[in-house]
Amino acid sequence: MMRPVAKGLISIIRAFSNPNVAGILRLQTQWNSPSAFQNIRPLSMSLWPFSAQPRDFSLPNASWSPEMRRVYDHYIALCEVETIGGEKKTGPWRKLPSYNRTLKYAKGGTYLSKMIQSKARLFTRSIKEHGAAFEYVIFVNKQEKRCVCVFQAGRLLEGPPGHVHGGAIATMIDTVMGGLAACLSGPIMTANLNISYRSPITLGSVVLIHSALDHVEGRKTFLTCRVTSTDETKLHTEATALFVSINVGHLFGT
């Protein structure tokens, strides 16, 4: 029979290897569940592969403009609906939590130095100063197979004077489309990304990044994306992408 320690650890690793919304939330619940920790406590903490206190970066902070907060509040309200009897229940939208890393040490092959392994961070969450770079929150509607990201571009993302760098826009498009693809198809990697820049985005402004499933063909998930003003009257960017489902071993060289 499997020992409780091994059982607890395996269930957490399983949750991590399935990075869809349910997987993330399950992992989060296990993190907060005393029984999960009771099972695991006897392990030496140095063997513990996950960051102890993951901070959710997709929460309001002082750098957010009133517009960012208004759109965030709008979608948060859609995450919970009130029934006729006045009860609250889960709505069609779900806010994706966002961590700067999940594993305590980066993986990626024998050639990663110890320094890189310990200091690696998710690119979009690697700048500590609130509001300086990527401020964003992704909301997913799994039923409708689409998502919306509210994105406020900070001063460090400048490309053309006073406007957002095309690479920063591409980063956000990849992050949002990748997040939706992972929610719908499990572990994936971007295989192809096509972007048309239609109108520049002012630095410091807030935009919406809408993404939706186009179709799935075996291991291939095809998505579309549009970046618009918050009132959706102005189109800034359009994109299509292909994500290919992978075995997580693909990332660990196994």
Ligand X SMILES: CCCCCCCCCCCC(=O)SCCNC(=O)CCNC(=O)[C@H](O)C(C)(C)COP(=O)(O)OP(=O)(O)OC[C@H]1O[C@@H](n2cnc3c(N)ncnc32)[C@H](O)[C@@H]1OP(=O)(O)O
- Among this protein's residues, is 214 annotated catalytic? no
d(CA 106, CA 235) in angstroms, rounded, equals 37
How far, in Å, CA of 128 to CA of 56, rounded? Answer: 13
SS3 78: helix
Residue with Cβ nearer ligand X (35 or 192): 192
CB of 218 vs ligand X, minimal distance in Å? 6
Q: What is the dihedral of CA 16, 93, 231, 82, to 10 degrees?
A: -150
The answer to the question of residue 220 lying near ligand X (CB under 6 A) is: yes
Mark residues 163-202: x for contact with ligand X by CB under 6 A, - for none: -----------xx--xx--x------xxxx----------
Query: 149: which strand partners?
Result: 138, 209
Among 76, 127, 244, 248, binds ligand X (CB under 6 A): 244
Q: Measured from the CB atom, is 135 or 174 closer to ligand X? A: 174
Residue 106 binds ligand X (CB under 6 A): no
Is residue 242 within the footprint of ligand X (CB under 6 A)? yes
Closest CA to 28 of 131, 106, 102: 102
Bridge partners (DSSP) of residue 89 are: 81
Point out the residue whose Cβ comes nearest to ligand X.
178
Per the residue annotation, which of 56, 73, 174, 231 is the catalytic one? Answer: 174
Of the pair 71, 181, the CB lying nearest ligand X is at 181
User: What is the C-alpha to C-alpha distance for residues 171 and 165, in angstroms, rounded to an integer?
Assistant: 10
Question: Minimum distance from CB of 233 to ligand X (Å)?
Answer: 28
Among 73, 66, 123, 121, CA closest to 93: 73
Site for ligand X in 199-218 (CB under 6 A): 218
Q: Which is nearer to ligand X, 39 or 172 (CB)?
A: 172
Residue 126, C-beta contacts closer than 8 angstroms, at least 6 positions apart: 100
Judged by CB, which is closer to ligand X: 5, or 244?
Answer: 244
Q: Total residues contacting ligand X (rule CB under 6 A)?
A: 16
Q: Min. distance of Cβ 99 from ligand X in angstroms? A: 8
Binding mask 17-46 for ligand X (x = CB under 6 A): --x---------------------------
| DSSP three-state, residue 10 | helix
69 binds ligand X (CB under 6 A): no
Look at the alpha carbons of 31, 33, 37, 40 in this order and tell me if their dihedral is positive or negative: negative
DSSP state of 218: T
Q: Are 202 and 162 in contact (CB under 8 A)?
A: yes
**Which residues sit at the interface with ligand X, rule CB under 6 A?**
19, 174-175, 178-179, 182, 189-192, 218-220, 242, 244, 246
List residues with catalytic annotation. Answer: 174
